[in-house]
């Protein structure tokens, strides 16, 4: 086994016995939500996975190891510490060799999940093609990672801080299936609507599991993006969110925010300026995604 990989006893036991496992990311804890809600949410999401018959595997980099399965104390550190590194693929060798704390994005979490042999990963929102990417070339490594790595992602769609249309086009180019559960329209995180028709719609867990088995058995490497619209009662209308996104984009421009800081800056700005309304939606939808991911993981092991 890869000497840089450290798998917790619970996750190792699940891997050895072909039990369902759901990978979870840590950037959402360190850079996606404020303390202490981030820690409460991370622990509640793990509990949701357990309640639905799967084993949670929260992934992060600690002391030179890619850790699969964190203790509650470790999750607390990722929620509280201010100088945790946000780790996408390009940061992995630096953070491992420097032995510093690294919170993994969707891209890095997928890669480490694949190293461990985990197929299902639940998150909130993925990175994608940013608005104005035709000028900035700001495209998340989450998308290039999805081209190659055999881990399915359950998310609430693509957040409209990104250009949803360009993100869907890019994903199509990379040969990644996009499935929306239970509706024809692709969701946009805070809203079940985006204005874009989902490339595929599937309504049952077992059919999604069959699609995953078929894809990988065919030798078609890469991810499947499974979009799970957020629970109706938490929806924030697109025109309300759009106002905050515009403000956040303006503020980012004014403060000259660049590179890896863009996404965390936009997320924090929106969370602060919507007075927690968006945060409540964020927490609800990630739990919902963890529930669906667990059910898919269970179905996959049958
Ligand atoms: N979008 C969200 N919440 C998040 C992120 C994105 O709605 O927490 C985080 C995820 O970890 C994602 C990362 O993988 O941001 C993407 O960062 P970038 O755009 O720099 O690739
Ligand atoms: Mn970027």
Number of domains in the chain: 1
Q: How distant, in Å, are the alpha carbons of 54, 133, 183 from that of 270?
A: 32, 20, 27
| pLDDT tens figures, 110-121 | 999 999 999 999
Within 13 Å and on the Cβ side, how many CA atoms surround 220? 13
* Per-residue pLDDT at 276 exceeds 90: no
Does ligand 1 come within 6 angstroms of the Cβ of 84?
no
Cβ proximity of 290 and 284 under 8 Å = no
Question: Average pLDDT of the chain?
Answer: 97
Spatial distance between the Cα atoms of 109 and 26, rounded to a whole number of angstroms? 8
Helix (H, G, I), strand (E, B) or coil at 301: helix
* Per-residue pLDDT at 20 exceeds 80: yes
- Give long-range contacts, CB 8 A cutoff, 24+ apart: 211-215: 211/177, 211/179, 212/119, 212/152, 212/296, 212/300, 213/300, 215/177
Residues contacting residue 49 through CB under 8 Å, at least 6 positions apart: 22, 24, 55, 56, 122, 290, 293, 294
Residue-level pLDDT at 275: 82
From the CA of 133, the nearest ligand is 2
Does ligand 1 come within 6 angstroms of the Cβ of 260?
yes
pTM, full prediction: 0.98
Which ligand 1 atom minimizes the distance to the CA of 138?
19
Neighbours of ion ligand 2 (CB under 5 A): 138
What separation in Å is there between the alpha carbon of 28 and the centre of ligand 1? 7
| pLDDT tens figures, 199-216 | 999 999 999 999 999 999
From the CA of 89, the nearest ligand is 1
From the CA of 265, the nearest ligand is 1
Residue-level pLDDT at 277: 84
Residue-level pLDDT at 15: 98
E-state strands within the chain: 5-7, 21-24, 55-62, 65-68, 85-87, 102-104, 120-122, 152-155, 178-181, 200-202, 225-227
* Per-residue pLDDT at 50 exceeds 70: yes
DSSP letter string over 178-239? EEEESSSBPPBSSSS--SSB-SEEE--HHHHHHHHHHHHHTT--S--EEE-PPPGGG---HH
Spatial distance between the Cα atoms of 106 and 84, rounded to a whole number of angstroms? 16
Cβ proximity of 300 and 212 under 8 Å = yes
| pLDDT tens figures, 279-296 | 999 999 999 999 999 999
What separation in Å is there between the alpha carbon of 130 and the centre of ligand 2? 8
Site to substitute for ligand 1 among 105, 107, 153, 269, most atoms within 8 A of C-beta: 105
E-state strands within 100-167: 102-104, 120-122, 152-155
* Per-residue pLDDT at 31 exceeds 80: yes
Helix (H, G, I), strand (E, B) or coil at 67: strand
Specify the residue with its C-alpha closest to ligand 1, atom 16: 127
Does ligand 1 come within 6 angstroms of the Cβ of 141?
yes
Spatial distance between the Cα atoms of 9 and 69, rounded to a whole number of angstroms? 8
Catalytic residue among 159, 215, 260, 295: 159
Which ligand 1 atom minimizes the distance to the CA of 189?
7
- For position 57, which CATH number holds? 3.40.1790.10
* Model confidence band, residue 1 (pLDDT cutoffs 50, 70, 90): low
Site to substitute for ligand 1 among 91, 111, 142, most atoms within 8 A of C-beta: 142
Q: What is the CA radius of gyration of the chain?
A: 18
| pLDDT tens figures, 229-269 | 999 999 998 899 999 999 999 999 999 999 999 999 999 99
Query: Is 254 part of the annotated catalytic residue set?
Result: no
Specify the residue with its C-alpha closest to ligand 1, atom 20: 260
What separation in Å is there between the alpha carbon of 180 and the centre of ligand 2? 25
User: Domain limits at 264?
Assistant: 5-301
Does ligand 1 come within 6 angstroms of the Cβ of 157?
no
What percent of the chain lies above the pLDDT cut of 70? Answer: 100
Which ligand 1 atom minimizes the distance to the CA of 128?
19
Query: Is 25 part of the annotated catalytic residue set?
Result: yes
Cβ proximity of 60 and 102 under 8 Å = yes
* Per-residue pLDDT at 2 exceeds 90: no
């Amino acid at each position: 086994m890869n000497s840089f990989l450290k798998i917790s006893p619970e996750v190792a036991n699940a891997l050895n016995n072909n039990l369902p496992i759901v990978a979870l990311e840590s950037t959402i804890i360190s850079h996606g939500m404020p303390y202490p809600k981030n820690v409460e949410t991370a622990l509640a999401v793990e509990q949701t996975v357990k309640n639905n018959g799967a084993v949670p595997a929260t992934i992060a980099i600690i002391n030179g190891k890619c850790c699969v399965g964190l203790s509650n104390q470790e999750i607390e550190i990722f929620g509280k510490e201010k100088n945790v590194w946000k780790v996408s693929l390009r940061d992995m060798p630096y953070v491992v060799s420097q032995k510093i704390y690294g919170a993994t994005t969707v891209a890095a979490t997928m890669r480490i999940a694949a190293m461990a042999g985990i197929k299902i990963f639940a998150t909130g929102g993925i990175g994608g093609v940013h608005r104005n990417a035709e000028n900035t070339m700001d495209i998340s490594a989450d998308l290039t990672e999805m081209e190659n790595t055999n881990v399915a992602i359950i998310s609430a769609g693509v957040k409209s801080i990104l250009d949803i249309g360009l993100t869907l086009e890019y994903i199509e180019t990379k040969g990644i299936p996009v499935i929306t559960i239970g509706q024809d329209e692709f969701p946009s995180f805070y809203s079940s609507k985006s204005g874009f028709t989902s490339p595929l719609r599937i309504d049952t867990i077992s059919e999604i599991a069959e699609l995953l088995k078929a894809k990988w058995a065919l030798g078609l490497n890469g991810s499947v993006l499974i979009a799970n619209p957020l629970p109706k009662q938490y929806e924030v209308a697109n025109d309300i969110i759009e106002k905050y996104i515009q403000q956040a984009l303006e503020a980012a421009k004014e403060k000259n925010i660049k590179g890896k800081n863009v996404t965390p800056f936009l997320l924090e700005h929106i969370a602060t300026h919507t007075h927690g309304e968006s945060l409540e939606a964020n927490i609800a939808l990630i739990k919902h995604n963890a529930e669906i991911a667990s059910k898919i993981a269970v179905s996959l092991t049958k």
